């Protein structure tokens, strides 16, 4: 499976991110390009240990099972998957290029990842290997959403 910790994979994702612009439109979902970029920046900040979120009750019940299901193969994340309110961006407009640059910069930080023992808001404690696979899948999901 592809992982964010592989330089070639990371470079491929950054290249795909760089193709996004103000005119990028979603193939599915409710987010516009700015909201998706901001959402992904917030997620990377969590995975990199810059921000922490309290576990969701439903995640305590089903998170481990959901993580095992996502990690079993290379199947992309499903369309219109739910997310926590903190990751739903209310503002409908902002600086697309600034958010894109911020996201690409955060992606580069995986080269020296040091957030062992990440506690995801839904999945709970994740190993570095699980983080690598999931970050790739999440990033790929949103890039496919915007046809990139």
Q: Does 116 score more than 90 pLDDT?
A: no
Average pLDDT for residues 121-127, to the nearest whole number? 96
Kindly provide the residue ranges of all beta strands, DSSP E only, lying in 70-121, ordered along the sequence.
Answer: 118-120
Q: Does 117 score more than 90 pLDDT?
A: no
Q: Does 81 score more than 90 pLDDT?
A: no
Mean pLDDT over each residue of the chain, to the nearest integer: 96
Q: Does 28 score more than 90 pLDDT?
A: yes
| Helices and strands in the chain: count of H runs, count of E runs | 5, 2
Here the tokens at position 11 are 């470079």
Give the list of residues 6+ apart from residue 33 with CB closer than 8 angstroms, or none.
20, 21, 22, 23, 24, 25, 26, 96, 146
Q: How confident is the model at residue 6 (pLDDT cuts 50, 70, 90)?
A: very high
- Residue 136: the pLDDT is 98
* Helical pair 128-145 and 7-18, crossing angle rounded to 10 deg: 30
């Amino acid at each position: 499976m592809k992982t964010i910790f592989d330089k070639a994979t990371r470079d491929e994702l950054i290249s795909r991110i760089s193709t996004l612009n103000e005119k990028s439109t979603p193939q599915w979902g409710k987010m516009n390009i700015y909201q998706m970029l901001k959402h992904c920046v917030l997620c990377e900040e969590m995975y990199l240990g810059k921000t922490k979120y309290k576990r969701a009750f439903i995640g305590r019940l089903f998170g481990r099972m959901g993580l095992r299901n996502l990690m079993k193969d290379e199947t992309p994340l499903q369309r219109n998957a739910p997310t926590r309110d903190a990751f739903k961006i209310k503002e409908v407009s902002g600086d697309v290029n600034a958010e894109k640059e911020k996201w690409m910069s955060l992606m580069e930080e995986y080269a020296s990842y040091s957030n062992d023992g990440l506690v995801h808001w839904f999945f709970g404690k994740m190993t570095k290997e699980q983080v690598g696979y999931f970050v790739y899948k999440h990033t790929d999901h949103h890039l496919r959403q915007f046809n990139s």
